[in-house]
Every structure is written in structure tokens, then in C-alpha cells.
Amino acid sequence: MAHADAWHICVQAEPFEVGQELNALQQATPQAGAIVNFIGLVRDQFSPSEASNAGADNPDTGKGSLEAMQIEHYPGMTEKALNAIAQQAAARWPLLGLRLIHRIGRLEAQAPIVLVATSSLHRQAAFEACAFIMDYLKTDAPFWKKEIGPQGEHWVEARATDEQAKQQWKHAQ
């Protein structure tokens, strides 16, 4: 926590450059021995629909190639939710720094959506904090994805496995 810019949380439409973000984190935390980074990307296929919803909007949901993803969020609440998640992680692991960037708006297939990078003295803290932040982001941060393909669009369904992933952190330790 030596440098003010060791903690960076941002919601933005603009692309980010992964190498640049990791270099910035590394330079802001010169004591770091371990940096772990997660990048979430727009897949080039539609995500599988829940059975209850399959074909409701669009007979083609669940298969076919995806053109883009539209990401909506709740301005004001999003920033608070991301900060709260980061604070929980910092209370649980000895983090030196963090970069958390989530994009919004229209993103083309294969574009990066989210970057979470954690910096710590040792690898275990960096790995666990990074996975923790992603698991909480998936269930607590107000973002919604809509997939757009040649034959229509549909909202991505929340996955039960994401809620389970978060719950595991409550039982751990």
C-alpha cells in the first residue's frame, strides 16, 4: 500500500491493454513477489441457455457464433460493489495492490471484458484473492450481459455454479 495508485478500480467502455496494466501494478508494488491476473473474454459462441428459457426469445440461443456482447450496469452501485469486494479481499489476504477493470457497452467477440490483477509477497495470497474477487464479482456486482448474434440477441442467464463458487469462500477458513 506504499503507492496511492497500487489500488485501481475502474468501470470503463474503453479497451485496456493487459501488459500496460500489469506493468503499472508491478511498478506500484515493488515489493511484490507474485502477481496473478485474470482476464475474462467475450467468447465467440452463445452461452448455453437455461432449459426454462431456451428459445423463448430466439430459436437460435444456445448455439451459433456470437458477434458481440452488450454489457449494461448500474452506475453508482457498480463502483460501490467493486470497492466492497476489493475491501473484503484486502481484509482477508495481505495484498500489496490490485487492479480491477470492468468494461461496459458493446464488446466484440474475443474482446477482454474484465481484468483482475492482484499483487502480493507470495503466490498463494495473490491466487486466492484474485479468484475470490472474480467469484464475488460474478454474483455481487450489477453487470448484465446480452449476447448478440446474426439471428438475434438474448440476455445471458446467471449460472448456479457462480453462486456456489462464492459460497465456498464462506466455508473456507
Q: For residues 6 and 133, which CB has a smaller minimum distance to another protein in the complex?
A: 133
Binding partner of residue 102 among another protein, a copy of itself, none, CB under 5 to 8 Å per kind?
another protein
User: Which CB atom, from 3 or from 146, has the smaller least distance to another protein?
Assistant: 146
In angstroms, rounded to a whole number, what is the distance separating the alpha carbons of residues 156 and 40? 15
Nearer to a copy of itself, 80 or 123 (CB): 123
- Residue 21 CB, nearest distance to another protein (Å)? 16
Question: What does 103-123 look like in DSSP terms, one character per residue?
Answer: E-EEEETT-EEEEEEEEESSH
Whether 121 and 31 have beta carbons less than 8 Å apart is answered as yes
**Pairing mode of beta strands 68-73, 105-108:** antiparallel
* Shortest Cβ 22–a copy of itself spacing (Å): 5
CB of 80 to another protein, least distance (A): 5
Q: Which does 9 bind (CB under 5 to 8 A by kind): a copy of itself, another protein, none?
A: none
Q: Which residue has cell 454474483? A: 139
Separation CA 110–CA 39 (nearest Å): 11
